[in-house]
Structure formats: structure tokens, C-alpha cells
């Protein structure tokens, strides 16, 4: 079967922005103008196509990245369809708690349209998303939206892009009028004005530039041409000699500069008032890359461990990356994947090189948001969704079994907030386990764990809104009612000194008595020396070791496992606050026995009691998890952030640079970090972002430990 559309006429791009900049409104216009819908959905009316989840429509925010396939014929081509292009578009969320969606979408897209609010300009999440796009070298176009709003200023918004994101941003358009007088746009490269007529702005009318804006347009046209010719030596010479450079030549240079991330064209308009969106789509065709124009994708050959490369070519071995899982009410679990090379057919088997297992790809669908179209085969450079995968998860590589490759995985941030959750009824118990597993499969930043001590289920995520939405989804999609608690920290206990204790367990009853007698020495456990064998008399576990040093049979051999069991059980509840004890070495040095009364239970109790007695004298301390934290923050807020961290017992390791921002690296106790995300947003006007991951356990300072111990009594 042959490809139904040439690869050079495919554009995989995303729409990214800060919350409320108008991404979804822009996406709805795109669907309408490309003929995918016959009515424009509005966020404020709750009938959008891309925001199809109930929570999205209620809150007016985008939570999941919606994938849409559609076609566009550039407006300047008229009825000539030789330049018609297939778009695979992803509309991503703007809220900081859902940045995982933006991060993973950018990993599989070839370009992005970044939408800005014409009143607010660059906002905090625009900075974070721009940073993700920088990390992935994703070419971008900018669209300054909402020119019809009170207080809109193209120049201020454009300046904020230059100041806060990139000096490579270049005006390609300026608006005709602002606020209620916004009437169209001027194309500075073509030197033409455009108005949008018809009930939905579907008629694009080309006209001469209004006389009162001619001077301004000429000034910016020269500026634009200067910026373009900087990227081509021959054009630069011609320009300096005063020659006119043909429009088509300038366009070619722009395309090359945009694909190389050396230029970011800026467009403008009002999506809500149906002005300017079609010209942005023209620019996607003209300037954003096809899958053929992006670098080949790198990976590792799992057989050799050496590098492997795949090009966007149907004749190469199949390789694809799963970037999202989604529960679909009609077809079950959908696995969205981007094909990097080769082709794959519905009904065939693919090799999951991440798990080392084969999976059957029963059906392939293309999504028009919440509508779906079955396809028999997908080709290199395309995005589709698979039905029928059992074990494929986000970030897994699918490939040809005879030519395996493992593509670079998508890196996700560690969750920063945890809550205890319990089902309300017995009926909810079983359903809750299934619901949590489904949700964590869909969202890699949503984690589930069990507190071994209390048996409680703990859910972790990127922020309070994130967990709130997850609990809400559990209730709506899986009909599970649950109670949620307050955040908790997993403390541990250990000892810092050596101590000895002896315990005799003697119990006389009417018949046979109980007798067990042991002497133990506790020490802090030393790390294992590499290459050194563990002696036969030592049982070593992850955070505990037991040494049997009994000589001459003072305790018969059959009772020693009972002593070890009693000691090991005693480590599960520490003597300070009942947290598990770790990194303890326990040596059984002496004891005695009774011919008739000695029993396993007596030695187990004696061992447990002797361990507790010795632990009390071995300088017991509390340990707390220390997190490695990075805060990316604009320079003017660095002092506030470092001061706040210092007040939270953090040690600042380094303050480095990242583009126009500073990166504050520190080690900080997890216990002090609840509510940090919210505090960080308020102290930096929401412009900072933080990532946090576990680093090590450390002794809790005595004054803090005392408070924790008392709270447990």
C-alpha cells in the first residue's frame, strides 16, 4: 500500500501558550477553516472540539493534549491545490500542573505555533514552554492574539518576546487598528494588507496598505528584509548593492532560518474575532519543517549498546515513539505514537524494545479530536493512535524486531506533592486500584505507592490542581468515591553509635516453660566493599545485616533463625517515633539455653527485646528524605527564592545561568516543600518553575526531630 500523502506535504506541529492566551480558541478556528468542523466551538460556551473532557469544559482550561488531523490549502494559492498540506496538530495545556503534556508533545512535533495574549504579552508559562521547545530544538512561529481586547498592544507584546524569550523574534505582520478598531493585518514581507470578511472571517481579502500606516509598514519592511538577508551571504551582498531581492528567494531564506531555530516570525490577529488565523496557517506551510527537514532521530541498538539512527523514510526499518496513553470511552485504551521511520499496518505485530516484548497492533486510528477515523497503515513522519496494546507505556519505543532500536525516552519531572487516599466503601476499593493504575499509565507524573507501615495508598503529582483533577476523573470516569488526606513524608530511623544489650525471656506456666537468652551488639552498618565476599555467618539485606557469632553451641543452631526473625521484625518499628529502622548491623555474640524450656518463640521475643534495648543506647536518630531541587527563575526574583529556600533548611549549591533566567540548585528537606509550588508562583508572579527529585536521606536536626516525635505520640 502506498502513502496517501507525500511526506514533504506533512506538518506536525503543536499550539502552545500560557493559560488563557487563546490556544484552544485558535485551534477551533483552525478546525473550522480547514473544513474539519462546520461550526466554531467556543471555550466560553463549553462546546469546543479539542477540549472534550468534562473538567476541561467546566474549567475552561485544556488538560490533555488533543491530536487532530486536517488539511490546508494556502489562501494565496486560490483553487490551485499543488501546495495543499496535511496538518497533524496537537493543542496542549497551558496550566503549569499539566506541563508534562507540553513536554511530551514537543518531543514528537516538528514545529510549534506559540500563542501570546496581546494585552499580557509573554507570561510565565510561555517562558516554561519556550524553554521546553529550546530543549527540543523545535522551530517556532509566534502569534500575538487578542488584538481586539481592551488594552491590547502589539508593540508591547512583541517587545516582551524580545526581552524574555529570544532576540531572534522578527515582525512579519503588524495589526490594522487595535481594540475595537482592530480590522485586519499588514503582511510586511508581501507589503499587502488583509481583511477577513464573511460571518466567520472565512473570506480573506487582499488589499493595499492603508495610507495612514504606509510609513510604518515601509520602516518595518526594511527592518524585516535586513534580518532575513543576514542569513544568506549572496542576498546580503545584493541587498547592500541596493538590488531588489525576489520575494520567493526571501521566503526560502526565512524557511531555512526558521527550521534552523535562527528566526522566529511573529504574526498577529484575533482568533476570537476570526482575524489572522488563516495567514498563520499559510506560514506553517511556508516556514515550518516537514518530517523530511528535521534531523534524523538517534537511538541505541539494544543488541550492541552502540548508536543507531533512523531517517524519515518509508523504506527504513519501522521505529516509533509512544508519547501518550488515553482512555477512550468507545475503543478502550489509545496509545498515541509518532512514526520516525518505516511503515506499520493494522493487525501486525511490533516489537517494544523498551520492554523486550512483542505487541499486536490490532487497529490504527487517526483522531479529529473526539472523532476517529480508522486507517490501515501509517507511514514515516505521521502521528496516529493504536488500539490493542497491552504493555506499551508513554516513552516506549516500538520498532521492527529484526532491526531493534531504543529511542531517547521522554524525561518526566518527579512529582512534588503527595496525598493519602482511601476508598469510601468496600465496593469502591477494587475499582479504585483499577482507576489509579489507568490514570498513572496515562500520566507519567501521577504516581501511586503504598505506605508499608500503614497500608495506606499514597498518590503523588505535579501540584494541588493536578491531584484534584485526578481524584475528580476517578469519580467521573470510574465512579470511585474516595477520601483524601493531608500530605505525608516518609521518615526513617537509624543509629549513630555501638551499643550492647542482653535479654532473658523466661516464662513459667503450669506445664512446659519458655526460655530464651541472647546478647546482641548493634553498630551502624558499613557499606559493602566492592569485590569482598560476604562471610557465611552474615545475612545481609538492603538496609540491615545480621551476624551470627555464636561459639561452642551456647545457643543451639536451630534457634538462631528465630533470633534473626525477632530482630528483623523489631527494625520495622523504630524506638523514637515508630518509623522503620535502616542501616543497622546486629551481631549475636552470646546467650544460653534450657534443655526443656527453650523454644523458637522465646528466642524471637528475646532477640526483639534485646534489639530495642540496645537501639535506645546506640544514639538513635531520625532520617528525612532530602530532595535535589532546581528552580529556574528570572534574575529579579533570585534573592526572594534563595531567601525562602534558606528559611526552609535548604542548602544552596549553585546559582547558574539558563538563557535569560537563573537556575538555583539546592538540597532541601521534602518535609519543608509542601505548598512550595504555590509559594513559588506567588513570589515570582508565576514566572519560575521548579523540578525536584529524591537525592538521599539525612539526619533530622534535634529540634525538628523532637517536634516530629511528639506529634507521633
> What CATH number did the domain enclosing 649 receive?
3.30.70.240
Mean pLDDT in residue range 274-284: 92
Q: Per the annotation, does 163 bind a ligand? A: no
Q: Is 17 annotated as a binding residue?
A: yes
Taking alpha carbons only, the member of 286, 291, 308, 290 closest to residue 299 is 308
Q: List Cβ<8 Å contacts ≥24 apart for 443-451.
A: 443/100, 443/470, 444/100, 444/393, 444/394, 444/395, 444/410, 444/412, 445/100, 445/412, 445/413, 445/414, 445/415, 446/415, 446/470, 447/415, 451/420, 451/488, 451/490
Q: Is the pLDDT of residue 45 over 50?
A: no
**Residues ≥6 apart with Cβ < 8 Å to 294:** 110, 259, 312
Residue 373 lies in a domain: yes
Q: Is the same domain home to 50 and 36?
A: yes
Residues 672 and 531 occupy one common structural domain: no
Q: Which residues contact 463 (CB under 8 A, 6 or more apart)?
A: 96, 97, 416, 417, 677, 678
CA neighbours closer than 13 Å in the CB half-sphere of residue 221 = 18
- Asked whether residue 645 is domain-assigned, the answer is yes
92 is known to lie in a ligand binding site? yes
In a domain, 476, yes or no: yes
Any idea which of 136-150, 388-402, 604-618 has the lowest mean pLDDT? 388-402
Domain final residue, candidates 407, 437, 458: 407
Predicted local distance difference test score (pLDDT) of residue 454: 67
- Annotated binding-site residue? 148: yes
Burial class of residue 595, CB neighbours in 10 A (0-12, 13-18, 19+)? exposed
Return the higher-pLDDT residue of 113 and 332.
113
632 and 670 both lie in a single domain? yes
Q: Which residue has the higher pLDDT, 527 or 140?
A: 140
Number of domains in the chain: 5
Pair (505, 613) in one structural domain = yes
Confirm whether residue 221 is marked as ligand binding.
no
Closest CA to 378 of 321, 334, 317, 314: 314
Q: Residue 532 annotated as binding?
A: no
Residue 542, classified by CB atoms within 10 Å of its CB into exposed (0-12), middle (13-18) or buried (19+), is exposed
Round to whole Å and give the CA distance between 352 and 349.
10
Label residue 186 by pLDDT band (50, 70, 90): very high
Residue pair 14/89 in contact by the 8 Å Cβ criterion: yes
User: Where is the domain boundary, 618, 639, 670?
Assistant: 618
What Cα–Cα distance (Å) separates residue 513 from each residue in 10, 560, 598, 608? 85, 19, 8, 19
Residue 223, in any domain of the structure: no
Q: Is 94 annotated as a binding residue?
A: yes
Higher-confidence position of 41 and 347: 347
Same domain, 374 and 426: no
426 marked ligand binding residue: no
Rg (CA), the chain: 32
- The confidence band for 44, taking pLDDT boundaries of 50, 70 and 90, is very low
* Contact indicator for 520, 607 with CB cutoff of 8 Å: yes
pLDDT in tens, 158-181: 998 998 899 999 999 999 988 888
Residue 426 has a CB neighbour count (10 Å cut-off) of: 7
Number of residues assigned to the chain = 713
Ligand-binding site membership of 91 (annotated): yes
Weakest mean pLDDT among 67-81, 443-457, 685-699: 443-457
Q: What is the mean pLDDT of the chain?
A: 84
Q: What is the pLDDT of residue 57?
A: 38
The b-or-e profile of 40-55 (16+ CB within 10 A means b, else e) is bbebeeeebbbbebeb
Full residue range of the structural domain in which residue 377 is found: 314-407
Residue 311 labeled ligand binder: no
Of the pLDDT bands very low, low, confident and very high (cuts 50, 70, 90), residue 476 is confident
Last residue of a domain, one of 243, 263, 293: 293
**Which residue is it, cell 493595499?**
208
Q: For residue 219, give the C-alpha cell.
A: 520602516
Is 23 part of any known ligand binding site? yes
**pLDDT, mean of residues 522-526:** 93
Tell whether 222 is in a known binding site: no
Q: What is the model's pLDDT at position 124?
A: 58
Instruction: Say what the pLDDT of residue 91 is.
Output: 60
Does the pLDDT value for residue 42 go beyond 60?
Answer: no
pLDDT of 37 > 70? The answer is no
494 is in an annotated binding site: no
Shared domain for 283 and 320, answered yes or no, is no
Exposed (0-12), middle (13-18) or buried (19+): which is 159, by Cβ within 10 Å? middle
Q: How far apart are CA 501 and CA 480, in angstroms?
A: 51
Residue 181 · residue 175 · CB < 8 Å:
no
The reply to whether 671 falls in a domain is yes
What is the reported pLDDT for 528?
75
Q: Is the pLDDT of residue 436 over 70?
A: yes
The average pLDDT across 574-581 equals 89
Q: Report pLDDT digits (tens) over 282-337.
A: 999 999 999 989 888 888 888 888 888 999 888 999 999 988 777 666 666 778 88
Same domain, 428 and 576: no
21 assigned ligand-binding residue: yes
Coil, strand, or helix at residue 369?
Answer: coil
What percent of the chain is predicted at pLDDT more than 70?
Answer: 86
Would you say 515 and 583 are in contact if contact means Cβ atoms under 8 Å apart?
Answer: no
Angle at 117 between CA 112 and CA 119, to 5 degrees: 155
610 and 505 housed in the same domain: yes
CA dihedral 331, 333, 334, 340 (to 10 degrees): -140
Cβ atoms within 10 Å, residue 245: 17
Calpha distance 271→44 (Å, rounded): 13
Grid coordinates of 349: 505485530
The average pLDDT across 272-291 equals 92
CATH code for position 481: 3.30.70.870
Question: Is the torsion defined by CA of 69, 75, 76, 82 positive or negative?
Answer: positive
What is the CATH number for 502?
Answer: 3.30.230.10
C-alpha span between 9 and 313 (Å, rounded): 14
- Answer yes or no: is pLDDT of 500 > 90: yes
713, pLDDT greater than 80? no
562 marked as binding residue:
no
530 Cβ neighbours under 8 A, 6+ residues apart: none
Residues 482 and 601 in one domain: no
Residue 95 has a pLDDT of 42
State whether 61 and 191 are in the same domain.
Answer: yes
Q: Is residue 220 part of a domain?
A: no
Residue 351 belongs to domain with CATH number:
2.40.30.10
120, 143: one domain: yes
Per-residue pLDDT at 584: 96
pLDDT score of 194 more than 90:
yes
Amino acid at each position: 500500500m502506498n502513502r496517501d500523502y507525500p511526506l514533504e506535504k506533512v506538518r506536525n506541529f503543536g499550539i502552545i501558550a500560557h493559560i488563557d492566551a487563546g490556544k484552544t480558541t485558535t485551534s477551533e478556528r483552525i478546525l473550522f477553516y480547514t473544513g474539519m468542523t462546520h461550526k466554531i466551538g467556543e471555550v466560553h460556551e463549553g462546546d469546543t472540539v479539542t477540549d472534550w473532557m468534562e473538567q476541561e469544559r467546566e474549567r475552561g482550561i485544556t488538560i490533555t493534549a488533543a491530536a487532530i488531523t486536517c488539511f490546508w490549502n494556502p489562501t494565496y494559492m486560490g483553487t490551485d491545490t499543488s501546495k495543499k498540506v496535511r496538518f497533524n496538530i496537537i493543542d496542549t495545556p497551558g496550566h503549569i500542573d499539566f506541563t508534562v503534556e507540553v513536554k511530551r508533545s514537543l518531543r514528537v512535533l516538528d514545529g510549534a505555533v506559540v500563542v501570546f495574549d496581546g494585552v499580557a504579552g509573554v507570561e510565565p508559562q510561555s517562558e516554561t514552554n519556550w524553554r521546553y521547545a529550546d530543549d527540543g530544538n523545535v522551530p517556532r512561529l509566534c502569534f500575538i492574539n487578542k488584538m481586539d481586547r481592551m488594552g491590547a498592544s502589539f508593540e508591547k507584546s512583541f517587545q516582551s518576546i524580545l526581552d524574555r524569550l529570544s532576540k531572534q523574534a522578527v515582525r512579519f505582520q503588524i495589526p490594522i487598528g487595535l481594540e475595537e478598531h482592530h480590522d485586519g493585518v499588514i503582511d510586511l514581507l508581501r507589503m499587502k494588507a488583509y481583511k477577513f470578511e464573511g460571518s466567520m472571517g472565512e473570506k480573506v481579502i487582499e488589499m493595499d496598505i492603508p495610507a495612514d500606516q504606509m510609513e510604518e509598514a515601509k520602516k518595518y519592511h526594511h527592518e524585516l528584509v535586513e534580518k532575513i538577508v543576514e542569513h544568506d551571504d549572496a542576498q546580503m551582498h545584493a541587498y547592500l548593492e541596493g538590488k531588489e531581492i525576489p520575494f520567493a528567494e526571501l521566503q526560502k531564506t526565512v524557511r531555512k532560518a526558521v527550521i534552523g531555530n535562527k528566526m522566529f516570525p511573529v504574526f498577529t490577529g484575533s482568533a476570537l474575532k476570526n482575524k489572522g488565523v488563516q495567514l498563520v496557517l499559510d506560514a506553517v506551510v511556508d516556514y515550518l519543517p516537514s518530517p523530511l527537514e528535521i534531523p534524523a532521530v538517534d537511538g541505541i541498538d539494544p543488541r550492541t549498546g552502540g548508536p543507531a539512527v533512523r531517517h524519515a523514510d518509508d523504506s527504513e526499518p519501522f521505529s516509533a515513539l509512544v508519547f501518550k496513553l488515553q482512555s477512550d470511552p468507545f475503543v478502550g485504551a489509545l496509545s498515541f505514537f509518532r512514526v520516525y521511520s518505516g511503515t506499520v499496518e493494522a493487525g501486525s505485530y511490533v516489537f517494544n524494545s523498551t520492554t523486550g516484548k512483542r505487541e499486536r497492533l490490532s487497529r490504527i486510528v487517526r483522531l479529529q479530536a473526539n472523532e476517529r477515523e480508522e486507517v490501515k497503515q501509517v507511514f514515516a513522519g505521521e502521528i496516529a493512535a493504536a488500539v490493542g496494546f497491552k504493555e506499551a507505556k508513554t516513552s516506549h519505543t516500538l520498532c521492527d524486531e529484526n532491526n531493534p532500536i531504543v529511542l531517547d525516552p521522554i524525561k518526566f519531572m518527579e512529582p512534588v506533592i503527595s496525598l493519602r487516599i482511601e476508598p469510601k466503601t468496600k465496593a469502591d476499593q477494587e475499582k479504585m486500584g483499577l482507576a489509579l493504575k489507568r490514570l498513572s499509565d496515562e500520566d507519567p507524573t501521577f504516581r501511586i505507592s503504598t505506605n508499608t507501615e500503614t497500608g495506606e495508598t499514597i498518590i503523588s503529582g505535579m501540584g494541588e490542581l493536578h491531584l484534584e483533577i485526578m481524584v475528580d476523573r476517578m469519580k467521573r470516569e470510574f465512579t470511585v468515591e474516595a477520601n483524601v488526606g493531608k500530605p505525608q513524608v516518609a521518615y526513617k530511623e537509624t543509629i549513630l553509635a555501638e551499643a550492647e544489650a542482653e535479654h532473658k525471656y523466661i516464662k513459667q506456666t503450669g506445664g512446659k516453660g519458655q526460655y530464651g537468652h541472647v546478647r546482641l551488639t548493634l553498630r551502624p552498618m558499613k557499606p559493602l566493599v566492592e569485590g569482598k565476599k560476604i562471610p557465611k555467618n552474615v545475612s545481609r539485606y538492603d538496609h540491615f545485616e545480621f551476624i551470627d557469632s555464636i561459639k561452642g553451641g551456647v545457643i543451639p543452631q536451630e534457634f538462631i533463625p528465630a533470633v534473626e526473625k525477632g530482630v528483623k521484625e523489631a527494625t520495622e518499628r523504630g524506638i523514637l517515633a515508630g518509623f522503620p529502622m535502616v542501616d543497622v548491623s546486629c551481631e549475636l555474640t552470646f546467650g544460653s539455653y534450657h534443655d526443656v524450656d527453650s523454644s523458637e518463640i522465646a528466642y524471637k521475643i528475646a532477640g526483639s527485646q534485646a534489639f530495642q534495648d540496645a537501639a535506645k543506647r546506640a544514639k538513635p536518630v531520625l532520617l528525612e528524605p532530602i530532595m535535589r531541587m532546581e528552580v529556574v527563575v528570572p534574575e529579579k526574583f533570585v534573592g526572594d527564592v534563595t531567601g525562602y529556600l534558606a528559611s526552609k533548611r535548604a542548602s544552596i549549591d549553585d546559582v547558574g545561568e539558563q538563557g535569560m533566567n537563573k537556575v538555583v540548585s539546592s538540597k532541601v528537606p521534602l518535609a519543608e516543600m509542601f505548598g512550595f509550588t504555590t509559594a513559588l508562583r506567588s513570589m515570582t508572579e508565576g514566572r519560575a518553575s521548579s523540578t525536584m527529585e529524591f537525592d538521599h536521606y539525612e539526619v533530622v536536626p534535634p529540634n525538628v526531630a523532637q517536634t516530629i516525635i511528639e506529634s507521633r505520640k
